[in-house]
Amino acid sequence: MDITEIVEPLGLLAGAEARAAVAAGLALPLAGGPLAFTLARRDGALCQAMELPAPLRAALSATPPPFAGLPTDRPLIMGILNVTPDSFSDGGRHDAPQAAIAAARAMLAEGADLIDIGGESTRPGAAPVTPEQELARVLPVVRALAHEAVLSIDTRHALVMAECLAAGAHMINDVSALRHDPAALAVVARARAPVIIMHMPGDDPRTMQSLAHYEDVALEVAGFLAERVAALEAAGIPRARIMLDPGIGFGKTVAQNLELTRRLPVLAGLGCRVLYAASRKTFIGRVAGVPEPAARMPGSLAVALAALERGATMLRVHDVAETRQAVAMWRALAAPLA
CB under 8 A, 24+ apart: contacts of 11-14:
11/37, 11/38, 11/39, 11/49, 12/36, 12/37, 12/38, 12/265, 12/309, 12/310, 13/37, 13/38, 14/309, 14/334
Question: How many contiguous H segments (helices) and E segments (strands) does the chain have?
Answer: 11, 12
Is 281 designated active site?
Answer: yes
Q: How many residues does the chain have?
A: 338
Radius of gyration of the chain (CA): 19
State the catalytic residue, choosing from 19, 241, 263, 316.
Answer: 316
The residue among 192, 203, 277, 281 whose CA lies nearest residue 232 is 192
Q: SS in 3 state form for 158-184?
A: HHHHHHHHHCCCCEEEECCCCCCCCCH
123 is a catalytic site residue? no
203: number of Cβ within 10 Å: 16
- 171 Rama class: left (phi>0) / alpha (psi -120 to 50) / beta: beta
Residue 157 near residue 174, CB atoms below 8 Å: no
3-class secondary structure, 303: helix
Beta-strand runs (E) in 68-218: 76-82, 114-118, 151-154, 171-174, 195-198
What CA–CA distance (Å, rounded) separates 88 from 316? Answer: 15
Which one of the listed residues 252, 263, 281, 310 is annotated catalytic?
281
Task: Please tell me the distance from the alpha carbon of residue 274 to that of residue 265, in angstroms, as a whole number.
Answer: 10
Residues forming the active site: 281, 316
